[in-house]
Structure formats: C-alpha cells, structure tokens
Chain A
Amino acid sequence: MAVSVRIRRQLPTSPWLFAAPGLLVTGAFVLYPFVSTLVNSFTDRRTLLPGRFVGLANFRELLHDDMFWTGLRNSTLYIAGVVPALVVLPLLLALLVQKNIPGITFFRSAFYTPVVASIVVVGLIWVWLLDERGLVNSLLETIGIGRVGFLSDQWLLLLSAMAVTVWKGLGYYMVIYLAALANVPRELHEAASVDGAGPVRRFFSVTVPAVRSTMVLVAALSSVAAFKVFSEVYLMAGPTGGPAGEDTTLVMLVQRTGTGLTGRVGYASALSVVVFAVTVALMLLVLRADRRDES
C-alpha cells in the first residue's frame, strides 16, 4: 500500500529532475573530458587544429622525450619523499594534541591553518622564507651554518617543495588520525602499562596496530596527491620548472604542453593518460598492501 501511495505522489520524471543538474555537470565536465582525453591521446590534435588519428605515435614519442622522464622521475620522487613523512608526522602530532589539556583546541586549530590557506599563498610564503636573503637563511647565518641556496639548486628545490607539501598537509592528516585515535580503547593502553610497557613500546604495540587502517588510508590519499603535485613546484621553481626544467613534474608538463593557443592537446592527453594510469595503480597497490596485511 505504502508503495502505491509513493508512486502516485511522484511523477515519473521528478527523480530525473532532481538528478539532472548534478548529472549534467558531471557528464559534461568530468566524464566527457575523461573520454575525450583517452580519444585525444591517439590523435595529433592541437588547440586550434582538429586532430587526425595517429595511433600510438604520442606514446612512442613519450618514450624518447627526456622531459617526460624528468617529469615522471620528479613526480615519483615526490611520493617517496612526501608519503612517509605524511603517514608518520601527523600521527605524532595527533598524539600530541589528543589529550584535553587547557588551550588544546587553540593548538589544534592553529595547526590546521596551513590546510585552509591557498596553495598559492603557502607557496609564496615559503618562496620568501627560503629566499637567498630570507628568514631561514638569516637564521642559518646567525647560528653560523651560512646561507643555503634552497631555491637555486635542482635537488634542494625539489626537497624544499616536498617540505612545503608536508607542512601544508600535516593538519589535514592530523584531524584524520585524531578521529582514529578516539576509537582506540583505553583499556589496551592500560593493559600494556600494567605489563610494564613504556610510551615508546606502547606506541608501537598498541597505537600503531590500532590505527593501521587509517595509516593505509593516509598513505593512499597522500601518494595519489603527491604524484599529481603541481602548484608547489610551479610556484617555487617557476613555470619552466627550475634550472634547465629539471624540477618539472608530470602535471606541470601536462599544463605546459597542452594549454595556450599552440597547445599540443593530443600529446598532453597522452601524458594525462599516464597520470591516470599511475594514479589508479597507486590506489590498487595500497589497497592490496592493506588486504595482505590483514590476512
């Protein structure tokens, strides 16, 4: 009876009216571009010229493009540099702000501020801090280490950009860990204390196993984000990617190749397909690691 009432009060078209705006936007600006990226990757399309089908020519060109390998190297290094720090440091930070001592809500919010700020603002703040004459170098000189060219050396630049990514992400993952820590039963810690385990021992044998699945989640989220890094490196190394373009990341290469009036849409699409493939592979890899750990 209830079902027939429902059907009569609901015109057959109304569910589609409800879903229409969302479906239209998603279809036109996410799914259609996704499909057209795949299609374009097999053409020599340019911004102002319609493309012809060229088979795998773009992908063959990739293999001989030094810039592609530079981009792939930097984006992969970015995962290696950023992910371990973003899995461990926010967990330690969460443990630090977990106890409800006076003023702790202030500290929690303050630690979250870099997450709220635009990546452009964050990038420019650090460009000035790490400048040859900036605050960090002034401090280093004061304590007698001397000035360091953070933004002029190819590798130091990449490392600095990674540090900025970690700095901006700390608060975000801290909040995720806080939610996970709230679910760790206190009895476990107490039992371990009674057995004579110190804080370090309890961290490794109680806390880490209890938040292990959250650590996997953080690893998945941060590795996918790290591989797609664009803004930090673009702002700190400049649009051309630092000395001789050696700090170019894969997404920077996509942006540089595919945009503007002379953009090589076909080739940039082939680069994008590589971004997809690696992103999907990363997610599958992390999920598989998770399942293996559980069994």
Chain B
Amino acid sequence: MSALDVRQRVRPEPPGTARREPRVTDEHGRRVRAGELAWRYLLLLAVLALTVGPFLWQLSTSLRGPTEDIYHSPPSFLPARPTLHNYTRVADTIPVWDYALNSLKVATANIVTNCVGSALAGYALARLRFPGRRVTTLVFVLAMLVPVEGIVIAQFTTMRELGLNNTLIGVVLPGAVGAMNVLLMRNAFRGLPYEIEEAAYVDGADVWQRFLRIALPSVKGTLAVVAIFAFMGAWDDFLWPLIVLSDPSKFTLTIGLNYLHGTFADDERLVAAGTVIAVAPLIALFACLQRYFFRGVGEGAVKG
C-alpha cells in the first residue's frame, strides 16, 4: 500500500458535511456515489437472474405436481402446490440413490488418491535430491499438457486390457493422481522455508518424518484445494465414465442423468428432480468452502 492510500484513509471528515445517506465505501475507502451504486446493484441483480435463475427454474419445475401446467405462457415462477412427488418418482424410475452412492465412491477415492499421490510426488520433486528429478518433473509437465479428450479411446483399450472397464476402479484410475496436482503440491512445498526442515535433519528426523510431521502440515491449504477439485472433477465428470461404463448398475450420477434424459426426455419434472439431486451436494459444498474454490482457480490458472 502506498503512503497516499494511508493518508486518504486516515484523513478526518471535514466538519459540517455529515451525509444523511448511508456511507458506502469501496476497497480504497472512498465513498461510492448513490447513483453509481444504484446502477451497479441493478446490473448485479440482472446478472444474478441470468446465472442463478436457471437453477431456480429447474428447482421450481421439479416441485410441480403432475396436474400443474408447466408450459404456461406467460410462465408462473413458483409452483402452485409444491410437492416432492417427482423425487420419489425418479427413485422409482432409475436407481438414483445407487448412482449417487457410486458418484460418492468415485469422488472419495479420487480425493484420497490425489491427495496422497500428489503430496508424495510433489515432495519428492521439491525437496529430495535424486538422479532423474528433472526428467520426472518434465514427465508431469508433459502429462498436464496432454488433452484428455485426445486419449480417451486409448485409455478405454488400456482399461479393457486390464479387465477394468465397466468398473468404478476403471472410472477412478486415469485421474487418480493428476499431474497438475503434483505440480501444485511441488510448488507449495518449494514455497516453505527450508530452515525448519534443515533443523529437523540435524535433530535426526528421517525423510518420512520430515514429510509427515513438518512439511505436510504446512501445506494444508493447497491440499484442501487439491481435495476439492478432485471431488468436483470426479462428481462432474462425463466423457470418461460415459465411455468406460456400459452396465447401468454401475452408472455414476452424471451418466444416470444422461440415461434418464435419453429415456424420459418428455417428462421434464422427472429430469428436473434428477438434476437437482445431482447438483445440490456440490452447491452445498461450494457454499461452505468458497475460499478454496476461488483459490484453486487462481493457482490452476497460473500453472495451466
């Protein structure tokens, strides 16, 4: 912060200019004029309607009973008699809770493998000396640049060779340790001051102790980012599970929804209830852990 900012912040208000309107200030502590404030909020509300409105419309559709006209023009935004009937109907039509459980299994496994694998490899790249370290780093950088869409067919044949197609393990494996996560963890470990670990060598700590007791607790924030993006990536993924899963009993939620849409496209209330089931957990997670979601974008974009 420059000296100029500080001066403006502490400058006392001239006497006799007390404003009646509420004093709204921006990030620099300067007052925002009422007119500007009004059009800013107007625009914000308009964008809000565009970004969140579609989700609310889907929720509203899912709560409408079978007799209510959902096609009416002009549309009514609230259901006349809200009912959870469509949610029980989804469960009768497809095993939606099994699909949710499959998604949860895949997402949880993806968190564990990504956190463990990328922390270990990131630590090796950042702190351990070994011949081939540069080549190993390069391997992860190259892997990060390979577009998944270009190798899904080969991943599919690889899974067939391993006998793992049509299993949840097959869904998890290709993304089990994301190269980008390895590089994120490497950078996090490199950012730690070296002195503490050096003191630990002197005290006789071996490499595993230094990793587990000293380095790992200091990078919890980055680890949380990796965990959240691993969860979101697995929960939202579509192309790969679509290719590797063919048995409807193994479907994850996204593939199940695609199936529901393909088979019952005319039943908008049913599809709407299915999509709400799929999106609600992530919106809840996002509401609780926003900080890490935003941090992940920043770190990912800089490295990507």
Contacts and interface: CB of A to CB of B under 8 A. Distances in A.
B30 to A, nearest CB: 10
A194 interface: no
B37 to A, nearest CB: 6
Contacts of B253: 118
Nearest to A268: B153
B92 interface: no
B198 A2 contact: yes
Contact of A124 (B151, B239, B271): B271
Nearest to B257: A120
Contacts of A18: 120-121, 123-124, 128, 211
Interface string B44-58: 100110111011011
Interface in B109-166: 113, 116-118, 120-121, 123-125, 128-130, 133, 136, 139-140, 142-143, 146-147, 149-158, 160
B192 interface: no
A204 interface: no
B287 A128 contact: no
A272 B151 contact: yes
A19 B136 contact: yes
A93 to B, nearest CB: 7
Nearest to A280: B145
Contacts of B146: 30-31, 34, 276
By DSSP majority rule, is chain A's interface helix, strand, loop, or mixed? helix
Interface string B257-299: 1100110000010011011001100110111001001100110
A56 interface: no
B174 A29 contact: yes
A292 interface: no
A60 interface: no
B154 A36 contact: yes
A99 B147 contact: no
A80 interface: no
B71 A128 contact: no
Contacts, number: 295
Interface of A: 2, 5-6, 9-12, 14-23, 25-34, 36-37, 40, 45, 47, 93, 96-102, 104, 107, 109-114, 116-121, 124-129, 131, 133-135, 137-139, 141-142, 167, 170-172, 175-176, 179, 186-187, 217, 221, 224, 228, 230-231, 235, 239, 251, 254-255, 258-259, 263, 265, 268-269, 272-273, 275-276, 279
21 contacts: A12-B130, A15-B124, A15-B128, A16-B130, A18-B211, A23-B121, A23-B136, A26-B179, A37-B154, A114-B51, A117-B282, A118-B282, A125-B55, A125-B275, A133-B71, A139-B74, A228-B149, A239-B262, A272-B149, A275-B149, A275-B150
Given A124-B274, A125-B58, 11 more contacts: A10-B129, A19-B136, A20-B120, A21-B117, A22-B117, A28-B158, A34-B146, A96-B43, A120-B236, A138-B75, A254-B150
